[in-house]
Amino acid sequence: MNYFCTMFETPIWLERTELLLDRENLEKLSKLQVLIVGLGGVGSYAAEFIARAGVGHMTIVDGDVVDITNTNRQLPATHETVGQSKAQLMEARLRAINPQMDLQAINQFINPHETIELVNSRAYDYVLDCIDSVTPKLLLIKAAKDKGCKVISSMGAGGKIDPMKIKFADISKTHQCPFAFYIRKRLRKEGVHSGVMAVFSEEPADRESIKETNGLNYKRSFYGTISYIPALFGLNMASWVIRDACDLFEPTPLCIPKMQQKKHREIQVYVVLFIIGIMVSGVTAFPIQTGINILAGYRHHFPAPMEQWILQLQNGINETWFKYPFIAYGTDWLAFAHIMIGVAFIGVYKHPVRNQWVVQWAIICCICVIPTAFICGWIRQIPFFHILIDCSFGVFGLALLLLIKHKITVFKHHIHR
């Protein structure tokens, strides 16, 4: 079954993935163009996890063959595959997982002058840098950034054994990793200061495990490795691609580039303004009788129709509160509802991308204020100017919420592009 047609149908083998991500996100994944360069201990696992998630278009690149020393950590490496092409082995494996995937396997090392051509060969949405050699790594990141692709890069996985120390971070905020330090330094010379997601480990590398090489393939030395650490680097890279494509990835402070922190703070400022506004409007519903009596004292400053209406409100509320004080219980719940809406926005303050649905829900609520005010106001014989005042709460709230939504969209779009 071809599930890349206009009407998307979930393949049976992705049934459980659909239960978790839903059909809309599966369709997004089916349309993704992903480039993975390097199919060693990191890239081979990243490619498999991405394929098993239902990504529809993938290019894998590696010119190396399996060596017996790869067997401790690389997915295609067994005693039976020694000497065989990693790209061809992974191509066969990925096609067996998802026969419908548009898969291109390039069995060669990409020379510096070919990197730009590779990145520009397709409209890649994501580029995964799983290269462990400095020069090709730098060229790939730079080419992908220049093209406008989202990039995630694997830092040093060698010499590490603690899986709990593996983190996501913008390249500018990586630390405790000598390889990442050198990559940051070289990228800055190329004008790339941030905007590259990195997977790295905060664990200091075991320098006793390092070994020098003959310098072939741009590699001068390597660290000892354990089976699961490179695989976990690849797993994290795949998870970022999948979650980011589905708008499910929530960046931690380490993931936010320094230049984007200002945008994050701007979102928080506007969210705080909304929280204060909605909570203050709610709290004022508790002492509604006191409030209307104070307002009535200044009624002479208003036009005659409004003065008469304020006086009518004062008389109605005072009489009702005197004879039927339990009616105020209803406005108490009105106040409570406003306060709880403000509480819901604490989640937006802490994690704006993850909780942007709260903003969208509040936008719908503000839009509904206007027809509700006119319909119910007409039924309850509320003066037109009072209806407009009620509508203004929806209008001002909507304006602030649309601004917050725009800020979150810009923040999410530029954080690693």
What average pLDDT does this structure show over 322-334? Answer: 92
H or E element at residue 35: strand 33-37
Instruction: Please give the structure tokens belonging to residue 267.
Output: 């979102």
32-255, CATH topology level: Rossmann fold (3.40.50)
Q: By three-state DSSP, how is residue 150 classified?
A: strand
User: If phi over 0 gives left and psi between -120 and 50 gives alpha, with beta otherwise, what is residue 256?
Assistant: beta
The band of 217, judged by pLDDT with boundaries at 50, 70 and 90, is low
pLDDT above 50: residue 413:
yes
What rounded mean pLDDT belongs to the chain? 92
Least confident of 13-22, 42-51, 207-216: 207-216
Check pLDDT > 80 for residue 199. yes
pLDDT band at 263, cuts 50/70/90? confident
Q: Is residue 222 pLDDT above 90, yes or no?
A: no
Q: Do residues 194 and 416 make contact, with C-beta atoms less than 8 angstroms apart?
A: no
Can you give the pLDDT at residue 323?
93
CA distance 199 to 42: 10
Interatomic CA distance for residues 194 and 409, integer angstroms: 19
Residues of the chain above pLDDT 70, percent: 96
pLDDT level of residue 363 (50, 70, 90 thresholds): very high
pTM for the predicted model, two decimal places: 0.74
> Can you tell me the mean pLDDT for 217-236?
87
The pLDDT tens digits of the residues spanning 50-100 come to: 999 999 999 999 999 999 999 999 999 999 999 999 999 999 999 999 999
Predicted pLDDT of residue 416: 58
Contacts 24+ apart (CB under 8 A), 373-382: none
Query: What's the pLDDT score for residue 324?
Result: 93
Res. 412 pLDDT band, cuts 50 70 90: confident
Q: How far apart are CA 95 and CA 93, in angstroms?
A: 6
What is the rounded distance in angstroms from the CA atom of residue 152 to the CA atom of residue 170?
Answer: 9
Answer whether residue 3 shows pLDDT above 60.
Answer: no
Q: What is the spatial distance between Cα 367 and Cα 130, in angstroms, rounded to a whole number?
A: 47
Confidence of residue 170 (pLDDT cuts 50, 70, 90): very high
What percentage of the chain reaches a pLDDT higher than 90?
79
Domain residue spans of the chain? 32-255, 261-414
- Average pLDDT, integer, range 388-399: 93
Please give the Cα distance from 22 to 28 (Å, whole number).
10
* pLDDT tens-digit readout, 117-152: 999 999 999 999 999 889 999 999 999 999 999 999
Answer for the pair 311, 248: CB distance below 8 angstroms, yes or no.
no
Query: pLDDT grade, residue 1 (50/70/90)?
Result: very low
